[in-house]
Every structure is written in structure tokens, then in C-alpha cells.
A and B are shown apart, each in its own frame.
Chain A
Amino acid sequence: MAPPSGLHQAALSSDFETPFPPLVRSSTVPVGPKSHRTDPSHLAPEDAYSPVSPPRRTGLYNVDGSGSGSNAPNGSTNELRPRHIRRKDGSRSRSRRRQKRFQKLLWVKQSYPDNYTDQATFLEKLQRNPRVKPYDFWPLVADSTVIVQQVCSVIIFVVCFVGIFQERVSPVSVVGFGSFATFIGWLLWDWWVGEESLRAQGAMDGTTHSYRGRDPRPVRRQDSLGGPTRNASIVSLSGAEAGAGAGAATSTPASALPSAAPSPRPDQQLHIPRFSIGPTDSRSASIEPSTAAASRAGSRAQSVADFHEAHYGHHRHRSSTSSPIRGGGVIPGNSRLQLRLSTIKSAILIYFTLLGLSPILKSLTRSTSSDSIWAISFWLLAINIFFFDYSINNNPFTQATITNPHSNQTGGIVTGGSTPAPAGVAVRAVTGAGAATGTATPIPTLTSTSPTASGTSTPATGTRAVPGTSTTPTATGAPSATAISTATGGTAPIPTQHKFPIASLSTNAALMASTVLASRLPSTGQVFSLTLFSIEVFGLFPVFRRYARHRSFRYHLILTVLLLLGAGAGVGIIIGAPCPPPGTSSLSGIPTGAADIMLREDGIGMKGMEGMILLGGMGGISQCWQTWLKHSLLGMIVSCLIAALAMGGCSWWLIGLQKYKNEIYGPWDPARPIIISRRYYDDE
């Protein structure tokens, strides 16, 4: 049983090698041979048996072929290269074989043994840390302010709860100042949006690059699930570019107005918080661009995409593209008025809903012991901090997609508030329903291929509110939406869709924490205040913060400092002894808490110090003022110190840790496909 003679093989392979086009060097320049040891300080197995690893020596050659397999001839390099010293090989080392260059190829029969390791080409494509970009200290610190803001918000919320719980602060003052600050924030936001829309109208030209008409972005419309004003504003297709110049074609406010009877089932009503602030309300504005820029191809593709979404969309729920900023970029005066009106309307609705629900909320987890409540709320708030969407992205479109979830979730959460345990479930159902109904609308478009034709308006509120009816024919009855959905595929990138669930998790957790905490409060008014306040803090305030950061870094910084000071002062006061005797505490405690709140909320108003002094002068001055002032001052200083230490220290630490980074990349890694016409699929 001798092995087959090498002669035959030799003949075969040498015949092989000649007729094929000669191989070429690869396109990549070899990096030179490297040690494969990743960590020289640790023992590797080969240290056990050989102090000298024989094959690993620096290569003599800087270039070697690696068989990229194209057809350019470069046979001449074979002769220029110094010959490799030949290894003996048992069966195949026939002396008449001429020594050839080792090639990293499998189809060539080579004159080298199988375990030959070519020093020039082995691991030539190994890359270490190719994508590492070093951090700089100050940008890192600046970026960490986002986290500080969120932590401070949570601290302030906790402080307010403690204040209410210990009856040092009147809940009415808390929620009053919170609402006041929210209102100011909204005004500011509205002003900013107006400014931006002016700028956008000047700058933008409705360039729509639809990619051969077959590039439907995964644009999701998000229906307002029974928010009566929203029915016609389902469309969300417009990129800001797409519709910038198209302001003239106003939407159909008639259908948008609350013609559909608001049958206030709880889940419908509860969705309104979504519109209680500006950002989400601008969705109606996105109608105009879509109608104006409607193009057949785009609409068709879109409808197909939506059809797809209607079927598969539950898995990949997308936040709507009806972004505040996108919409805001194109708002003409008329619809902005509409917008404001509807905002106010939603605010009032949510206010009264909450008022009605608060007795239920109060007794919901009453039977649970306080220890459990503290533990649960601690973990929920921790979840809120850890899963908050801190992504810094200056792209307004990104922002837009991010901001929506918050406002969206506020609605969902209140639903969950009635039953804290299934809150997440409720939210999921609600969002799923929104997705399904929203996308189900264009089905008639698909079949009839004349989207504008289906103009008969059916009040779709009833069917919409029912989750899971997306594919049933009843759910398709939002023809106005269909008509509007004839928009070109927006060209705006929609980058942050995956973040949606994370952000909603954070918001959900915080609102659930507030619901759970609210059950510790004795009176309905306190419960109402706390819940409303938590919606403001966790639902709306992040939107404002994000927008402020987008506007200018200076606002962001000011906001951070104010939040920090507020949180510090609040903690100082809470921790400090409750000095005032019971009689005076009720009197003077209120204004302090209020000032504290105001300070926290957005700092647009007065600063905490001024507020305290002002209120102190106003209220009955007691000795306590001094101690409280002292405590809050101390708290501020300490908080500033802690924040500076944490931000600086962590940044420095992170930079210091970079030297341990050792990423290895090579041809064995799965390639990252570059797909231009990326559609509706996510890559895992």
C-alpha cells in the first residue's frame, strides 16, 4: 500500500500551474509578519515546549502574492524574488520540481508541505485596532453631561417625592411649578421650531432623490390611536427636504379636527399625552409635504413597503418619522396654530384623565409593603438611568426619531399606570396597535394603485383603537390617510430605529416607579401631582433637553448646571434636619420646595437662590431659612464637587483604559456588507 507515486502528482500539478494565468499580488499591502501572540506578557502554549519558535522570523520580503485571483499577469516577480529555502517533504520532494513561490492558494498543488508557514504572507492581513480613535478629555467630559442631566432629573424627582411624602412641600406647588416650567419650555420650544422652520424654508429646496423609485424607506406612520384630532394626520412620510417648499398645500384640517367623536375609552384618551407637547404635534404638519410631493412611483413603493410593514411590522416597530423637527421645519403659520391648539387640547385631556385615574393609582399598590415599594422604585429608577437613550447625535432627524418615543410612551404608561404590573405589556400592545393600524391603511393603495382615489372618509377611530386588527379589512378604513400617503420616499436617513425599545424601556420604568411610589401618598391630590410631575420629568423633559442640546451647546451646559445645582440643593435640604417646627414648616416648606422645583425644571425662570430669597421674603421668615439656605448651599457645592470628580475621573479612567484595547481583525471576520439601498430589514 504505497502511497500513490508522487510522479503522477508532480506531473499533474506542474501542468496545472503553467496554463493558468499567473497569480497576482493582492490588493492589500502586507503589513509584514507579526507575531501571533496577542499578549506578550502571558505564557502561550508554545512557551512550554520551545523557547525559540523556529518559523517565526521577520520576513525578508515585503510583498507577496496572496491570490486575489484577478487576471493581471505578473509572473516576472517570481524570478526577482529570492528563493525560499526549501523544506523537505516526504512524498513530494522530488528534486526535479522547481521551487516555486509559496502561494496562499488551495487549488495549486504546491511544493511545500501542508504545514509550511510562509513568513512573508502568514497573517499579512491581520489588523490590530484599526478602528480605534483616541478619546480626548474635554469632549468626553462634555459628552458625559448628558448622563449628569438624567441622573439629576431622577434625583430631583426623588427629592420632590420625599418632600411630598414628608409633607414638607405641598404637592400642588410642585406640580404647579412643574407645569409652569413645562409651559415655558414648550413656549421656548415652539419659538425655536418656528425659527427653524423659517430657516428651513429659506434654505431648503425640495430635493427628493428617490432611488429609482424603488427605495421606500421604512417610514412608519404612527397613528394617534384614537386621539381624535389626529386622524387625518397619519402621514409621516415627508422628509424635511421633501416637503420644505410644499407648505402651500395644506393638510386637510377639517378631517383632522375632532370631527371623529372622541369616544373616551380609557386607552384612547390616555394616548393624548403624546400631543401634550410640541414635538409630537407637529406631525400634522408633515402632511403638506407629503401631499405636495406626492409622486406615483414613490407612493407605490411606499404602499408596498407599508404593506410589508403591516404584515411584519410588529417585529420591528419603528418610531414614526413624523418627527417634531422634520415636521417643524415646514410648518406654516396656519397649521402651527392648529398645532398649538391641539397641543393645548391634549394637555387638558391628559390632565383630566390623570385626575380621574389618580384614586385608582392611589390604592393600586397600597397593599404592598413599603419596603418592597422602595426596592422596586429604586430598581426601576436605576433601569431608567441605565437604559436612557443618551445617544448624542446632532442630526435633527435622528433626534426626531428619538424624541417621539418619549412622548409616545407617556401615553402608554398612563395606561399601564392603572395596573402597574402589566404596564410594559400595555405599552407594547398599544404601540403594536399603533404600528399595525398605521400601516394597514395603505392596503387599498396597493390593490387599487390609485392612492388618491380612495377619498371617502370613514371615521377610523373605532377600528384604530383596537389593536391587532391591522390586517382585517376594517382597519384599512382611513382613506384620508391613504390619500395623503402618496409621498415620495423621503431621503432622510432614519438611523436610530433600534433605539426605540431601549428608550421606551427607560421611560416606562421611570413612570412605573412614579406610579408605585404614588401609592405611598395619602391623598388623591398628592398622587395626581406626583404622577403628572413624573410625566413632565420623564416624558417631556428629555425631549426638551434633547432639543436644547441640538440647539446649542450653551443651552445644554446651562441646563446641566442648573439641574446639578437643583439636585444638590434638593438633596441638601432633604438630608438636612427638618428644622422648622410643625407649625411653620407647612408655611415655609412650600415655597422652598416650589423654588426647588422651578430651579429643577428648566431653569428658564429664576434661579434657585433668587427664588428662595424671594419666597423667603414673601413668606414668614423663620430661623429655618438660614439652615435651609445653608443646607442647600452645601448640597450644591457638594454636588458640583461630586459631578466634577465623577465626570473628570471617569473620562480620565476611560482614556487610561484605552491602552488595553486589542482588537484583532482579519479576513476571517464576517464582512460587513455595504448596501446602499437599504430597505426595511435590520441586520442583526
Chain B
Amino acid sequence: MAPTYRIAMVCDFFFPQPGGIESHIYQLSTKLIDRGHKVIIITHAYEGRTGVRYLTNGLKVYHVPFLVIYRSATFPTVFSFFPVFRNIVLRERIDIVHGHASLSSLCHEAILHARTMGLRTVFTDHSLFGFADAASILTNKLLKFALSDVDHVICVSHTCKENTVLRASLDPLMVSVIPNAVVAENFRPLGYPSSTPPSSISIPTPMGLPPPHPSSSLTPPRRILGPHDPITIVVISRLFYNKGTDLLTAAIPRILAAHPNTRFIIAGSGPKSIDLEQMIEQNVLQDRVEMLGPVRHSEVRDVMVRGHIYLHPSLTEAFGTVIVEAASCGLYVVCTQVGGIPEVLPGHMTVFAKPEEDDLVAATGKAIAALRRNEVRTELFHEQVKNMYSWTNVAERTERVYNGISGAISEAEFYGYDHLKDRNGSNGWTAVTATRGMRSGVQSFALIDRLKRYYGCGVWAGKLFCVCVIIDYLIFLFLELVFPRERIDICPDWPRKKKVVDTRGEGGGLEWGDVEDYRRRSRPSRLR
């Protein structure tokens, strides 16, 4: 019996606001609940969404009233969150606090307070930051503060891991790479049989791909493209500078000029859409470029299945969930080779381009040619993607992190000291054992040890951070006096049936996944 934990996910960004981080938290939480843990989510109050909510599956969401300053990020008051946070944590008997997103000050505060209260903390980083501009420098310093005393960090890609390790001066061993996932069920190609009955999905070919004997019910017929059949290129992104809209604007006329019988569908909105429209007018491409404007996440699949190629010209991307979604819809992906994107999809699904206009045009040309030669088995993509990324897998791997930091997995196993011992002889081993207990896995809660960690943050910042930590500790003592633990009610857990966990784990009856699904179900289940 694996240990179960009571986990609090803390992030500024959560539903009803749409977005990648939001759905990540939701999917991960439901999957963890399915695995027997108790998960609550703490976020700030959104308009029309205050108090405590229950979502599907007994997922409880606390909407803490907080001042929102910019793009639903709360104002960074270092200590003001503590009383509420402590109350929630004690009510729910939380063991592990799991924060998300480096721009969320709620998450950073929660990690600080949780450490003060003696809880284990995990942080998931979803984004990449540079080191050059002033905003990044400030954010990186704050991240360093928050992560000086975290137990473990999860990053969504290896590039993201490198970035986070550099930004927060972390030990690379305490950073795990656990990718995002997609709900493959929601991104089926056109004509793909819907597999809503769980029985049908529990037979998915464990054989992998390309299946020598594809089960006839699941593999859609091959789409054979004639030499003059129209090819549709789909672009779905917010039209911002860092999404590479400039590249797109420059490349579209050249691609269309070089390849007759191609057309574009562009979905999304943003400040750069004016440039796109201008480009269309200027080159008189109204009949070959269709701009759909903003689309909801639930409609993304319907847009994607209209195309053959997905073009992703982004300039920076930590993971790039959208290209996984596109591949899952059976689209051939053309994307720029930036950030974590090269790690995400195998080579036979993608054509990579440098972030240059010429190269993007050439790569798209290559993709079109490959499709015209019918070399790419796009109809197999869905099955393959489904096997690569699933939230169940993400939840399992996250669970291992929880096990590691709470001591269920031995430290040596989690951090691989045996490896060190083998390689290094007795010397390295003794060195590590000497500092045992101060290793990241078993971070000591003693105030002096914590202060030591914070002190290393910088010449001035280190001292400042130490002062903050000390004040936080004093507040904690004060709260213990004024609001003693005994006075706080213990919240009863959500009653659950014992669920038989599907040993296959992949997909199947546990997929609650869909956002729309969530919305539909969450509406009647408003309890308080």
C-alpha cells in the first residue's frame, strides 16, 4: 500500500480563468485523487467565484480573497497570506504544499509559510525566463528567495529544468522533469472512433507503433493526398510577439506563393493580429488565409482537424502543449526549435525550423512535400501521442516526488547516493552522510538551517531574506498563541468509494479530463 498524502496545490492561476497552468493543476489533482490522495486547491478569489467550491471528484478549491494586480497575479505581500493559509492547512491536515507557476506570488508565499509550519513543499515551474532584462532579474531574485528552502522542484521540460536550476541556484538533483500531458481523448483526429466506453480503451495496443497489426477498430483509414489536393496549415496561438507572429506574418506570403493549393487557418487574437490582417490585405490573400479570431479551448480540436499541418512559430516555449495536441489530432507539426520544444515530439511527427523566416518557409515546404508524397503516417499519431503523454503517468511521477521528499522512498534511492558510493568510494559517501539531514530530500526544519539556506541568496538579498524568514517565524508563533491549533476544526474528508485502480493506468475510465466536462459537472456540485 503506497502512502497517501494530503496535498494542497497553491497557485494564483486556476479556473474559471482558462489556460495551460490551470488545466495542468486540475488534471494533476484529479489524477492524484484517483490514486487515493487528498488534494485541495488554494487560489485567489475570482469574480463570481469566492469561498470554497467542490469540483468533480471531491476536489476542493479555496478561493482566498486577495488583491489582484496584474493578469490575475496577486499583489506580493509577503506575510498577509499566512493566517488564512495556516487555517486552511490545519483544517485540511495538509502534508505537502505544492505550488505552481513562478509568477504566482501566492505560491511563493505559501511555500515560505509551509516551510515555517514544517510542511514539505514542492514547486512546479511552467515557464522560461531569461537573465537579461530587468523584469527577469527581479523575478529571478524572488524565485531564488522562494526556492531557497523548497524540498523539490518539478519542471515541465529539460530546458526548463536547466533554466530553473540557474535562476534559483538549485541543486540539479532536487529538480525533476515531469512533462505536461494532454487528454488525448479530447484531441482525436477526424473520423477517429470516440472511445468513451472505457471497455474499448482498455484494449489499446500495448504494442506501440507503428503497429504491425493495427487493431482495425482504432486506426482510422489513411488519408491519401493527391498531388493537387489542398493542404491546410493551421496556426493556433495568441498573436503576441513572443509567439512568433512576426515570423508568421513574414512567412505566410512566401509559403503561399511557393505552394499552390495550400491555405492557412489562423486562430487566436492579440496585438499582432493587425499585422497579420495587414499582410493579408497587402498580398490579397483573403481567400487563402482564414482568420478565426479567438477560439475556446474546447473548440481547438475542431479547428485542428480541419488542417494537415500545424505551424508553431513560437520564439520561446517551456513545453508547448499545443503541438502535442496538434499531433494528437493527426497533424504534421512544423515548429521552431526553441526552448523545450525539441524534447516534446519525436522526429517523425515534426519538422523543425530555426526561428528565421527562410528556414520556416523551407521547413514548411518540406512538410508539404512530405505530405504530398504520403510519407507521413499522420493517422497513427493519435495512438502514439496517447501512449507518450497521459496525466495518469504525470500523477505517478509526481507521486514519486512526494514519496521522495516525505521519506517513503529512501533518500539514497531518491537521490541516487548508491551511485555516488560506487563511483566515489568511501570518501564521497562519508562526505554526504556527514551532511545527512541537510540534504535537500530531508531538509531540516530548524530555523537556523533554513536561515543558512536563505543567507546564500546574495550579499544584500540574503540578509533581507533572512529577516523575512525570521519575521515569518515570529508571526507563526504569534498565530499559534492567538489562534491555537486546537480551536481549528478538522475538516472531514470527501467521502469516497474505494476505487479499483486500473492497473493499465493509461487513459480509460479515469479520464475526467475535459475542461468542459469539468465545468458541466462542477456547476451542480456547488455545495456551499
Set of chain B residues within 8 Å of A301, measured between Cβ atoms:
282
Inter-subunit contact B505/A44 (CB<8 Å)? no
Known: A1-B36, A54-B420, A106-B344. A668 touches B159 (CB 8 A): yes
Q: Flag whether A122 is at the interface (Cβ < 8 A).
A: yes
* Separation of A224 and B171 alpha carbons in the complex (Å): 64
- Cβ < 8 Å to B, chain A residues 124-147: 125-126
Q: Which residues of chain B have C-beta atoms less than 8 A from A45's C-beta?
A: 144, 148, 168-171, 453-454, 456-457
Residues of A within 8 A of B176 (CB): 113-115
Q: How distant is B361 from chain A, measured CB to nearest CB, in Å?
A: 10
Determine if A46 and B169 form an interchain contact, defined as CB atoms under 8 angstroms apart: yes
- State whether A4 touches B162 (Cβ < 8 A): no
Q: Is there an interface contact between B389 and A664, defined as CB atoms closer than 8 Å?
A: no
Q: Which of A8, A107, A664, A668 contacts B346 (CB 8 A)?
A: A107
Contact status B316-A676, CB under 8 Å:
no
Is B274's CB under 8 angstroms from A312's CB? yes
Range for the number of chain A residues in contact with chain B? 35 or more
Once the chains bind, are A19 and B169 in contact (CB under 8 Å)? Answer: no
Interface segment, A64-72, A175-183, A335-343?
A64-72
Bound complex: CA A88 to CA B400 (Å): 13
- Give the residues in chain A near B459, CB-CB below 8 Å: 42
Q: Known: A54-B417, A670-B242. Contact between A122 and B177, CB under 8 A? A: no
Q: Is B49 among interface residues, defined by CB-CB distance under 8 A? A: no
Interface string of B442-477 (1 = CB under 8 A from A): 010000010011111111001000000000000000
Across-interface contacts of B157 in A (CB, < 8 A): 106
Check B169 against A36 for contact (C-beta < 8 Å).
Answer: yes
Q: Decide: A88 and B456 in contact? CB cutoff 8 A.
A: no
- Size of the B side of the interface (Cβ < 8 Å), in residues, is 127
CA distance A42 to B272 in the complex (A): 43
Residue of A1, A21, A668, A674 touching B129 (CB-CB under 8 A): A668
B523 on the interface (CB 8 Å rule)?
no
- Assess A88 versus B282: contact at CB under 8 Å? Given A666-B162, A667-B338: no
B387 within 8 A of A: yes
In contact, B1 and A104 (Cβ under 8 angstroms): no
Which of chain A's residues have a CB closer than 8 A to the CB of B282? 214, 216, 301, 304-305, 308
Contacts A1-B35, A85-B422, A673-B355 given: A69-B169 contact, CB under 8 Å? Answer: no
- Which listed residue, B36, B281, B315, touches A304 by the CB 8 Å rule? B281
Q: Are A42 and B458 in contact (CB under 8 A)?
A: yes
Minimal beta-carbon separation of B355 from chain A (angstroms):
4
A667 → B minimal CB distance (Å): 5
Please, which residue of chain A has its CB at the minimum distance from the CB of B279? A679
Is the pair A674, B355 in contact by a Cβ cutoff of 8 Å? yes
A582-605 residues at the B interface, CB under 8 angstroms: none
Q: Are B4 and A107 in contact (CB under 8 A)?
A: no
A69/B342 contact (C-beta < 8 A), A50-B438, A107-B388, A115-B176 known:
yes
Q: Quick check: is B250 within 8 A (CB to CB) of the other chain?
A: yes
Contact A52 B432, beta carbon cutoff 8 Å:
yes
What 0/1 readout, one digit per residue, does chain A (6-30) give for beta carbons within 8 Å of chain B?
0011011001101111010010000
Report yes or no: B246 in contact with A681, Cβ–Cβ below 8 A.
yes
Q: Residue A90 at the B interface, CB < 8 A?
A: yes
In the complex, A680→B129 CA distance in Å?
A: 28
Interface pair B163/A90, CB less than 8 Å apart: no
Please tell me if A95 contacts chain B, counting CB pairs below 8 Å.
no
A386, CB-defined interface residue at 8 Å: no
Which of A91, A113, A675 is close to B247, meaning CB atoms less than 8 Å apart? A675
Contact status B281-A36, CB under 8 Å: no
A-contact bits for B128-157, CB 8 A (1 contact / 0 none): 111110000000000010001000101001
Looking at A11, A12, A115, which has the most chain B CB atoms within 10 Å of its CB? Answer: A115
CB of A15 to closest CB in B, whole Å: 3
Whether a CB of chain A sits under 8 angstroms from the CB of B343 is yes
Measured CB to CB, the nearest residue on chain B to A85 is B419
Q: How far is the CA of A2 from the CA of B347 in the complex (A)?
A: 34
Count of A-B residue pairs with CB < 8 Å: 296
Given A23-B347, A50-B438, the answer on whether A42 and B428 have CB atoms closer than 8 Å is: no
Interface membership of B69, Cβ < 8 A: no
Of B193-201, B220-228, B408-416, B482-490, the one touching chain A: B408-416
A395 contacts partner chain B, Cβ-Cβ < 8 Å? no
Complex: chain B residue closest to A15, CB-CB: B208
A91 touching B453 in the complex, CB below 8 Å, given contacts A54-B432, A676-B358: no
Most chain A CB within 10 A, of B170, B173, B207, is at: B173
* A421 in the interface (beta carbon within 8 A): no
**A1-B343 contact, Cβ under 8 Å, with A46-B170, A90-B413, A214-B283:** no
Residue of A nearest to B451 (CB): A48
Is there a chain B Cβ closer than 8 Å to A116's Cβ?
yes
A25 to chain B, nearest CB (A): 12
Q: Is B99 an interface residue (CB 8 A)?
A: no
Q: Which residues of A contact B438 (CB under 8 A)?
A: 48-50
**Alpha-carbon distance A541/B438, docked complex (angstroms):** 68
Bound state CA distance, A174 and B166, in angstroms?
Answer: 61
| Chain B 393-419 per-residue mask, 1 if CB under 8 angstroms from chain A, else 0 | 100110111011000010011111111
Taking the complex as formed, is B174 at the interface, i.e. its CB lies under 8 A from any CB of chain A? yes
Please tell me if the beta carbons of B400 and A117 are within 8 angstroms of each other in the complex: no
Residue pair A46, B171 in contact (C-beta under 8 Å): yes
Q: Which of B169, B389, B438: most chain A CB closer than 10 A?
A: B169
A46 to chain B, nearest CB (A): 5
A367 at the interface (CB under 8 A from B): no
CB–CB B356/A673 < 8 A: yes
Do the beta carbons of B501 and A4 come within 8 Å of each other?
yes
Q: Is B345 an interface residue (CB 8 A)?
A: yes
Within 8 Å of chain A (Cβ to Cβ): is B80? Answer: no
Does B104 sit within 8 A of A, measured CB to CB?
A: no
Closest to A57 in B: B423
Quick check: is B503 within 8 A (CB to CB) of the other chain? yes
- How many Å lie between the Cα of A125 and that of B346 in the bound state? 20
Whether B36 lies near A21 (C-beta < 8 A) is no
Q: Does B160 contact A (CB under 8 A)?
A: yes
Inter-chain contacts of A53 with B (CB < 8 A): 171
A305 to B179, CA, bound (A): 44
Could you show 22 A-B contacts with beta carbons less than 8 Å apart? A1-B35, A5-B503, A12-B506, A36-B169, A42-B456, A42-B458, A45-B456, A48-B449, A49-B453, A50-B439, A54-B415, A86-B419, A90-B413, A106-B157, A107-B343, A107-B346, A667-B339, A667-B340, A668-B318, A673-B246, A674-B357, A674-B358
- Given A114-B400, A308-B282, A669-B130, 8 new contacts (CB under 8 A): A4-B501, A9-B393, A15-B209, A16-B209, A43-B455, A87-B418, A671-B338, A674-B355
Closest 8 CB pairs of A and B: A15-B208, A4-B505, A43-B456, A114-B176, A49-B438, A671-B355, A69-B347, A674-B356
**A: which residues have CB within 8 A of B?**
1-5, 8-9, 11-12, 15-16, 18-21, 23, 26, 36-38, 42-56, 66-71, 85-91, 104-108, 113-117, 122-123, 125-126, 214, 216, 301, 304-305, 308, 312, 663-681, 683-684
